[in-house]
Structure formats: structure tokens, C-alpha cells
Amino acid sequence: MKTAAAIALDDILEKDWQRQVIDLANTFGWQRPMHIYDSRRSEPGWPDLALVRDRLVLLELKRENGRLTADQKRWIRALLEAHVEVYVVRPRHYQELARVLQARGHVDGWTAAQYAARTHLLHELDHDLVPNARRHTA
């Protein structure tokens, strides 16, 4: 019996990654993942997906080595300042994203694994938003 060859994370296209994320969201009961298919008449930089269940989660999907545009950074910063739950996720973040999407309600009620996954995603987001020259080393 032949088995499918593993696909390198670098080779996953954003449209395929998006399909995986939507399938994951549906698995955990998120309602109608919203994606703007033709963004030419929309404000540039808005996150790719909006998920609604017991909370609102916005996701910017990137290929493994994809970078945020200046407009995406501006939107994400504004959303974070407004206390919106927003993440930049890449294929390597699948397990962390699954834990975050599985979690219900306010973060205070999440399991330790769900909270750790959220913390990891926010740490990665910080690296996306802060230029290398400004990062602090411990």
C-alpha cells in the first residue's frame, strides 16, 4: 500500500493552509468562517479569516516564510489595542491553533495547554510585528 508523501511546510500554499484552518475551525464548532475573497475594494491589510463561536477570533494566514505587509501590521496592532483576539498563523502553528480554537470562553477558564498555545502564538506574533533591530535579547 502506498502512503502519501509528507509535504514540507515550506511547500504548503496559502490557499491550502486556509482550507486546513477552515476545516479545523469547523471541527471545533466555529460558525461560518468569514473570508473576503476579493479584497480589491476593501481596506488593505485586514486579516484573512474571521471566526465566530463564543468569541471572535481573527486570523492572518501566512505561508511558512511569509511576512506581514505594513498594512497588515497596522491592522493587527490596532486590533490588539482594541483587545481583539488576533493571531498570525503558519502551518507550523497547527497544533497551537487547534488548542486555541478548541478553547471555549474567556482565557481565564482555559486549560494550561490551551493557555500555553495562546502564549506561543502571541510570542510569534510579537516577532512578526517587531523589527529584528528592536528585539530585546535576554
Q: In what order do the strands lie in the sheet with 49-52?
A: 31-35, 49-52, 56-61, 85-89
- CATH architecture of the region 9-131: 3-Layer(aba) Sandwich (3.40)
Give me the residue spans of the domains in the chain: 9-131
Which residue in 112, 93, 39, 106 sits closest to 71, CA to CA? 39
Residues above pLDDT 90, as percent of the chain: 67
* Confidence grade of residue 137 (pLDDT, cut at 50, 70, 90): very low
| Least confident stretch, 86-90, 101-105, 115-119, 131-135 | 131-135
Question: What is the structure's pLDDT at 2?
Answer: 46
**Residue 61 exposed, middle or buried by CB count within 10 Å (0-12, 13-18, 19+):** buried
Question: What is the structure's pLDDT at 73?
Answer: 96
Residues above pLDDT 70, as percent of the chain: 82
- What are 24-49's pLDDT values in tens digits? 999 999 987 776 666 666 778 999 99
- What are 80-89's pLDDT values in tens digits? 999 999 999 9
- What are 51-60's pLDDT values in tens digits? 999 999 999 9
**Higher pLDDT among residues 6 and 105, named by residue:** 105
Cβ proximity of 49 and 33 under 8 Å: yes
